[in-house]
C-alpha cells in the first residue's frame, strides 16, 4: 500500500529541505516597518544560512509578487495587515502558492 503525505506533512518536508540548503528566499508580508527591519537584522546574523528577504506591506502585493516570482522558499505572514486581517489572509496565499510553507507572525 502506498501512503500519501498530507499537505501539512509535505509543507514540513519542504520546510526542512529548505533549512538544509545554504540560501533561503523569504517573502515577508508585514506592514510594520520596525518589525520587518528587526526580523531582517536578526536573520542577517545567522552564520549557517544566507537569507534573502523580500518585504511587502500588503497581502495583495504579496499575492502579486507570488504570481510573477515563484522562487520563494517560505512566506512569513503578519495577520494584521491593512488589506486583510486574521486567518482570512491564509486562504488566498495557500491558493496562490500551495506548496510554500507559511509561517504566521504574531507579537
Domain containing 15 — which CATH number? 3.40.50.2300
CB 103 within 8 A of CB 74: yes
- Three cell numbers at 52? 534573502
Would residue 20 count as lying in a domain? yes
Return the DSSP state at 94: H
Would residue 2 count as lying in a domain? no
pLDDT tens digits for the chain (107 residues)?
445 555 555 555 555 555 555 688 999 999 999 999 999 999 988 887 789 999 999 999 999 999 987 689 999 999 999 999 888 999 999 999 998 999 998 76
Number of separate domains in the chain:
1
CB 49 within 8 A of CB 23: yes
Would residue 41 count as lying in a domain? yes
Would residue 93 count as lying in a domain? yes
Would residue 1 count as lying in a domain? no
Distance CA 32, CA 12 (A): 27
Amino acid at each position: 500500500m502506498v501512503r500519501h503525505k498530507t499537505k501539512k506533512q509535505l509543507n514540513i518536508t519542504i520546510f526542512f529541505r529548505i533549512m538544509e540548503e545554504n540560501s533561503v528566499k523569504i517573502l515577508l508580508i508585514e506592514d510594520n516597518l520596525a518589525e520587518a527591519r528587526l526580523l531582517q537584522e536578526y536573520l542577517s546574523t545567522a552564520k549557517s544560512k544566507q537569507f534573502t528577504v523580500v518585504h511587502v506591506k500588503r497581502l495583495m502585493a504579496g499575492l502579486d509578487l507570488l504570481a510573477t516570482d515563484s522562487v520563494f522558499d517560505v512566506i512569513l505572514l503578519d495577520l494584521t495587515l491593512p488589506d486583510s486581517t486574521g486567518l482570512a489572509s491564509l486562504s488566498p496565499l495557500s491558493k496562490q502558492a500551495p506548496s510554500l510553507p507559511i509561517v504566521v507572525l504574531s507579537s
